[in-house]
Amino acid sequence: MSQAIKTEKLCFTYPGVEDTPGVAVFDGLDLTVDEGDFVAVLGGNGSGKSTLAKHFNAILLPTGGTVWVCGLDTSREENLIPIRRQVGMVFQNPDNQIVANVVEEDVAFGPENLGIPSGEIRQRVDAALNQVGMYAYRQHAPHLLSGGQKQRVAIAGILAMAPKCVVLDEPTAMLDPKGRREVLDTVLQLNREKGITVVLITHHMDEAAKAKRVVILDQGRIAAQGTPAQVFSQVDLLHSLGLAAPETVELCHALNAEGYSLPLDRLDAESCAQAILDAITGEETT
Amino acid sequence: MLKDITLGQYFPGNSPIHRLDPRTKLILLVVYIVILFVASGPVSYCLCLGFLAACIAVSKIPPKSFLRGMKPLIFLMCFTGIMNLFFTGGETLLVKFWIIHIYLEGVIRAVYMILRFIALICATFLLTYTTSPIALTDALESLLRPLGKLGLPVHELAMMMCIALRFIPTLLEETDKIMSAQKARGADFETGSLIQRVKALIPILVPLFISAFRRADELATAMECRCYQGGEGRTKMKQLRYGRLDASAFAVTLAVLAGSIALTVFGL
């Protein structure tokens, strides 16, 4: 399987202002994201999550090491536009990434920039809006939509550019639970049905639990990575990094402290309940 | 609520006037202004006003909204009228009082000026009522494109207008939020002298500006991420196209222009 994104010994330091020294974020970070993968990047505040996301789209350039996106080196200027055509980016605040005052015009913004003929733009815009379930709102003004809807419009704007990879930087941080679910379902669907590589930066454990792979960042280093079940079962490590495991794992962990021996890889409520039930009935029979 | 302000006062609709190409409407507005200034006699004025009334009727915009839009300009209209009334010389003296001389010609001129004013305002309103702001921006960009060769950044100007329009509601909402937050901490915007009230606005403007700059920064990043590189090599989803309707609109307006020139030549 080929790699959508690969960082090799990535170093990055935010330049200091005047006499103050710069802030080093990464010092030799190696990370790969396979094509078609769904990677969730977790980490506390200041762990470098958002800085990492900005490297995937050549908004920030490494001060050392290399970032390869679809086989292109981000530090070469002639690669800038090809990279941004391949990697779409969705930001935290939906209000600050919508350009036009009609939904469909905003979705058309990206393809218009690429110089695509108008007939094809129309098709792409309609397809992208259908994909995120916002076609009925195509004539609306963005400021009258809910947060979740705005974020889906932003995703449609990226999809209309037909990228191979989508990087979402805390897309649900400003949304209510309903909006969060809408956005997450849309992202999952893109990954599953269209095979788009997804990098989801988040601090919600339940969102990360739906990914194929989880990467935990701590102070610019990878603290843990693997499948959600592998990563979240290391509850003590998570706690030491100031993170919490998904609620089901936390519950099993707390019960284990009381003398049970429950598995720590149950990420949804149903299988967790089953595990607890099994433990209780098993105890009664013995 | 600040949020309820309607912008550009666009009335969505599907009348022939709505369906005209925005460029046609802009050009024809200019032509109509020329017609207004060509007209000089009662018959040609009737032609002008009749034409405008017919356009308003076709657009199906409630005439009341034109009256409402005119309210803030009543003072200016009266002022123009009075100035013309008092300072136009003539032969038929109607009133002579102290230093005030009112001639018949002055009365006629004042009436014409006010009518011209009203027609001008209504025609402009007709344009903004029947054309969405985004269509107007597109039309301006398209019409000004020749000036791009002279170094005028036409695309950038149009983009700025578009973004400004897009962010007005967002910033209004934000102002509302900041004002509520300040009120919750005891700020008083409603009482006190004018100077005190202006001073009370400063704590609103500072956070508003800071947040606007932050938004601008994020928006610029988001636009760059979507491969924005200025106007060069950019295409448009909705291309403006002149149709048969535009041709007939041009024909009718030019006929009115010709008619009003002819009437003026004959002194009607």
Q: Per-residue pLDDT tens for A2-52?
A: 788 888 888 888 887 777 777 888 888 888 899 889 999 988 887 888 889
Tell me, yes or no, whether B152 and B104 share the same domain. no
**A192 CA to chain B: closest CA distance, Å?**
23
Least confident of A90-99, B211-220, B234-243: B234-243
The secondary element (H helix, E strand) that includes residue B94 is strand B93-97
The contacts found for A243-249 with CB under 8 angstroms, 24 or more apart, are: A243/A42, A243/A43, A243/A44, A243/A205, A243/A216, A244/A205, A245/A205, A246/A205, A246/A206, A246/A209, A247/A205, A247/A206, A248/A272
Q: In this predicted structure, what is the pLDDT of residue B8?
A: 52
- Contacting residues of A for B237, CB less than 8 Å apart: 104-105, 108, 111-112, 118, 121-122, 125
- Residue B88 lies inside a defined structural domain of this protein: yes
Task: Tell whether A89 is within 8 A of chain B (Cβ).
Answer: yes
| Residue A188: closest CA among A215, A168, A173 | A168
- Residue B1 lies inside a defined structural domain of this protein: no
Tell me, yes or no, whether B117 and B19 share the same domain. yes
Tell me, yes or no, whether B245 and B114 share the same domain. yes
**How would you label B112-151 residue by residue, b for 16+ Cβ within 10 Å and e otherwise?**
bbebbbbbbbbbebbbbbbbbbbbbbbbbbbeeeeeeeee
Which residue among B132, B218, B237 places its CB closest to the CB of A91?
A: B218
What percent of chain A has pLDDT above 90?
22
Tell me, yes or no, whether B205 and B244 share the same domain. no
Q: In this predicted structure, what is the pLDDT of residue A173?
A: 86
Q: CA A210 → CA A36, A189, B159, distances in Å?
A: 15, 12, 39
**B122 CA to chain A: closest CA distance, Å?**
26
- pLDDT averaged over every residue in chain A: 87
Structure tokens at B113: 């000026």
What percent of chain A has pLDDT above 70?
99
pLDDT band with cut points at 50, 70 and 90 for residue A90: very high
Tell me, yes or no, whether B91 and B146 share the same domain. no
List the domain range (segments joined by +) for residue B22: 9-131+240-265
What would the DSSP string read from start to end of A34-51? ETT-EEEEEE-TTSSHHH
Tell me, yes or no, whether B216 and B245 share the same domain. no
Tell me, yes or no, whether B124 and B23 share the same domain. yes
pLDDT band with cut points at 50, 70 and 90 for residue B140: confident
- Residues 6 or more apart whose CB falls under 8 angstroms from that of A88 comprise A110, A158, A159, A161, A163, A165, A166, A167, B225, B226
Tell me, yes or no, whether B124 and B194 share the same domain. no
The secondary element (H helix, E strand) that includes residue B114 is helix B104-130
CA distance A3 to B154: 42
- Contact between A205 and A244 under an 8 Å Cβ cutoff? The reply is yes
Task: Indicate yes or no: CB of B224 within 8 angstroms of CB of A59.
Answer: yes
Tell me, yes or no, whether B176 and B119 share the same domain. no
pLDDT band with cut points at 50, 70 and 90 for residue A201: very high
Q: In this predicted structure, what is the pLDDT of residue B2?
A: 43
Which residue among B222, B227, B238 places its CB closest to the CB of A81?
A: B227
- pLDDT averaged over every residue in chain B: 85
Across the range A120-130, mean pLDDT stands at 92
Residue B190, φ and ψ in degrees, nearest 5 = -100, -25
- Residue B4 lies inside a defined structural domain of this protein: no
Across the range B147-167, mean pLDDT stands at 86
- Residue B234 lies inside a defined structural domain of this protein: no
AA identity, residue A106:
D
**Whole-complex ipTM:** 0.84
- Contacting residues of B for A127, CB less than 8 Å apart: none
- pLDDT > 70? residue B5: no
Bridge partner residues of A224 (DSSP): A216
- Contact between A220 and A26 under an 8 Å Cβ cutoff? The reply is yes
- Residues 6 or more apart whose CB falls under 8 angstroms from that of B73 comprise B117, B121
Q: What is the pTM of this model?
A: 0.80
- Residue B232 lies inside a defined structural domain of this protein: no
Name the residue of chain A whose CA is nearest to B220's CA: A97
Report the domain count for chain B. Answer: 2
- Contacting residues of B for A141, CB less than 8 Å apart: 169
The secondary element (H helix, E strand) that includes residue B182 is helix B154-184
- Residues 6 or more apart whose CB falls under 8 angstroms from that of A189 comprise A131
| Residue A164: closest CA among A131, A120, A199, A134 | A199
Task: Tell whether A118 is within 8 A of chain B (Cβ).
Answer: yes
**A281 CA to chain B: closest CA distance, Å?**
55
Q: In this predicted structure, what is the pLDDT of residue B3?
A: 42
Kindly give the pairing relationship between strand A213-218 and strand A221-226.
antiparallel
Which residue among A96, A112, A114 places its CB closest to the CB of B222?
A: A96
Task: Identify the residue with better confidence: B203 or B210.
Answer: B210
What residue ranges define each of the domains in chain A, with the CATH number in brackets?
3-245 (3.40.50.300), 246-286 (no CATH)
**How would you label A147-163 residue by residue, b for 16+ Cβ within 10 Å and e otherwise?**
bbbbbbbbbbbbbbbbb
Interface test with B, best of A80, A86, A113 (most B CBs within 10 A): A113
pLDDT band with cut points at 50, 70 and 90 for residue B6: very low
Task: Tell whether A175 is within 8 A of chain B (Cβ).
Answer: no
Q: What angle do CA A72, A77, A79 make, to 5 degrees?
A: 30
- Residue B180 lies inside a defined structural domain of this protein: yes
Tell me, yes or no, whether B29 and B121 share the same domain. yes
- Residue B195 lies inside a defined structural domain of this protein: yes
- pLDDT > 70? residue A286: no
In terms of Cβ atoms closer than 10 Å to its own Cβ (0-12, 13-18, 19+), residue A258 is exposed
Tell me, yes or no, whether B151 and B121 share the same domain. no
Q: Which residues of B touch A (CB under 8 A)?
A: 132-134, 162-163, 165-166, 169-170, 173, 215, 218-219, 221-229, 233-239
Q: In this predicted structure, what is the pLDDT of residue A285?
A: 65
Q: In this predicted structure, what is the pLDDT of residue A158?
A: 92
Strand blocks (E) in chain A: 3-14, 23-34, 38-43, 64-69, 72-73, 87-90, 165-169, 197-201, 213-218, 221-226
- Contact between B228 and A102 under an 8 Å Cβ cutoff? The reply is no
Residue A153, φ and ψ in degrees, nearest 5 = -65, -40
Tell me, yes or no, whether B33 and B88 share the same domain. yes
- How many A×B Cβ pairs under 8 Å? 92
CA distance B98 to A95: 65
Kindly give the pairing relationship between strand B93-97 and strand A23-34.
unpaired
Half-sphere exposure of A17 (CA within 13 A, CB side): 0
- Residue B3 lies inside a defined structural domain of this protein: no
- Contact between A53 and A199 under an 8 Å Cβ cutoff? The reply is yes
